[in-house]
A = this chain, B = another copy of it.
């Protein structure tokens, strides 16, 4: 059972990464519960307890809006991402809630072919069980500076 849970969560993270990296952005909100929260912050902000995230969205409508505005903006700047996820730790919080922590690295591939380290950090997730949706996905970036304004979700 514990093995199955571990692999089920790794699969969820894998499908999430594959969806973003294959530009299936419209599938992104479906990884969350109806009132799911998505937040990007920095390790520095987390450590200092600063309240303002880099990005915050709550509920499918806001998540959908995010994708819609990206689709509009990205007409002008085609780009590609590749997510690498590792070191996934899984913990049961209750009968219907799982906590997961994982390391990530995202590279960004620009139109001209240049590949950059775009972001690194950790995912801290609350996941519903057994349907495996993100009730909360907090993306804690290591670096204090990065441009997420036009970025694909991490």
Interface residues of A (CB under 8 A from B): 3-4, 6-7, 11, 13-15, 17-18, 21-22, 43, 80, 82-89, 101, 103, 105, 107, 109, 112-117, 119-122, 142-146
A106 CB to nearest chain B CB (Å): 10
| A13: B residues at CB distance < 8 A | 87
- Could you tell me if A17 and B86 are in contact, using CB atoms closer than 8 angstroms? yes
- Which residue in B4, B15, B112 is a CB contact (below 8 Å) of A89? B15
What chain B residues lie within 8 Å of A142 (beta carbons)? 80, 82, 107, 109, 115
- Report which residue of A85, A88, A142 has the largest number of chain B beta carbons within 10 angstroms of its beta carbon: A142
Q: Determine whether the beta carbon of A17 is less than 8 Å from that of B113.
A: no
Instruction: Report Cα–Cα, A114/B117, bound state, in Å.
Output: 10
Contact B113 A143, beta carbon cutoff 8 Å: yes
CB of A113 within 8 A of CB of B144, answer yes
Greatest chain B CB density within 10 A among A18, A107, A115, A145 is at A115
Contact A143 B115 (CB under 8 A): yes
Q: Does A21 contact B103, Cβ atoms closer than 8 Å? A: yes
Per the bound structure, the CA–CA distance linking A13 and B17 in Å amounts to 18
Q: Is B117 in contact with A117, judged by CB distance below 8 angstroms?
A: yes
**8 additional contacts (CB under 8 A) given A21-B103, A113-B146, A114-B143:** A82-B103, A83-B86, A84-B84, A86-B86, A105-B107, A109-B142, A112-B145, A117-B117
Q: Give bound CA distance, A86 to B104, whole Å.
A: 10
